[in-house]
Amino acid sequence: MQIFLSAFDDVPDSRASNARHDLGELLVIAFVSVLCGSNSCAEMAAFGRVKERLFREFLKLKHAIPSHDTFSEIFRVIDPKALDAAFGKVLADVAALLKDGDVIAIDGKALRGAREKNESARTRVMVSAYASRLRLTLATVTADRGTELDAAIEALGLIALKGKVVTGDALHCNRRTVAAINAGGGDRCLALKGNQESFLSDARGCFSNLKDSHPVASSTDTGHGRKKNRTGVVVSAKAMGEYHEFPGLKGFAKIDATRETGGNVTSQTRYFALSWMPTPEVLLATVRDHWAIENALHWQLDVSFREDAARNRKDNGAGNIAVLRRRALDVVRRDTSKGSLSIKLKRAGWDEAFLCRILNGLVEA
């Protein structure tokens, strides 16, 4: 547990000097409670009281367990970026396992419950940079009221991009994001859609007269009653980069996908702007890896942590607790024992020995 306390020392504490509860200890209790299923400050306080004996094995707790009002006050005022950076130090050894060619997916997820009645469901968004192969959140930045693009560029600036491939949806296929990726030395595979109509039209035109001998790759996935077929092709497009003022553009990619479910077949064609020329096989793998941020992160946050139902919404509270959820997911994934993620999270709350094994595993790994 010392690894967490040491990292939390760097989180700025804006409270008065006579604050009763140690900030690092409070953050440890909050994090462990979220890992075990807590979803609000009231649940954090209740969990802390139930597990006080366990916490006293490694925390001083001079003034016992903080109240739910104390948790709420802390999370409203501390900086989510500083909290996320502290977890980045805890998980630095895992992040160091990134390899050249690894996909870093960038995407935002709305905190749907973190809003007042008169606000949009996308009032507050958490933008994450996610290492798909490691299933690790590299950086998370809060975006309020339409600033998702700014948050994504900030997140990219917090991580080492050299040798990595950044993937993103059409929102991120713009000159500002490209400049941020270029500055970090990364490559990119960014979706092209109707918000770049001229660019998309020219991309389509590059595939109109391909020879039969042009390299193509296909893949088929089955499961959960579905069958998916994908065909990918890559073409050179260096001249288009200068014409569209899109620095570093090397090629376009096209993926034709069909999905069969219960006898119903749907099809879709997607286009991508590339800064390097992958083989069609690598293209398919790259685009598939991007979806890890949806399936392994966003979906799990809703299913296992009930994030969409969370009502933390005051000041920085929603962003800070969202950081705890993402980092709890990172930590529990380090456990290699059998069992689903949801069961492991519940088991951590039931079995103190298992909980300690998960937390200690970060040091032993």
**Whole-number Å distance between alpha carbons of 241 and 259:** 33
Angle (CA) 182 183 189, round 5°: 25
Instruction: Work out the pLDDT band at 365, boundaries 50, 70, 90.
Output: very low
Let me know: does 104 contact 152? Beta carbons within 8 Å: no
Average pLDDT score over the chain: 92
Let me know: does 233 contact 246? Beta carbons within 8 Å: no
Q: What is the pTM of this model?
A: 0.92
Could you report the per-residue pLDDT of 3-27, keeping only the tens digit for each?
899 999 999 998 888 889 999 999 9
Quote the DSSP letter at residue 102: -
- Report whether pLDDT(307) > 90: no
**Whole-number Å distance between alpha carbons of 264 and 56:** 58
Counts of helices then strands in the chain (DSSP H, E) = 17, 9
* Dihedral Cα 67, 70, 74, 77, nearest 10 deg: 150
Pairing of strands 165-168, 187-192: parallel
- 3-state secondary structure (DSSP) of residue 61: coil
- Report whether pLDDT(363) > 60: no
Q: Where are the domains of the chain?
A: 2-78+334-364, 93-299
Of 24, 29, 30, the C-alpha closest to 6 is 24
Could you report the per-residue pLDDT of 93-118, keeping only the tens digit for each?
999 999 999 999 999 999 887 766 66
Residue 318 identity: A
Section 18-40 average pLDDT: 94
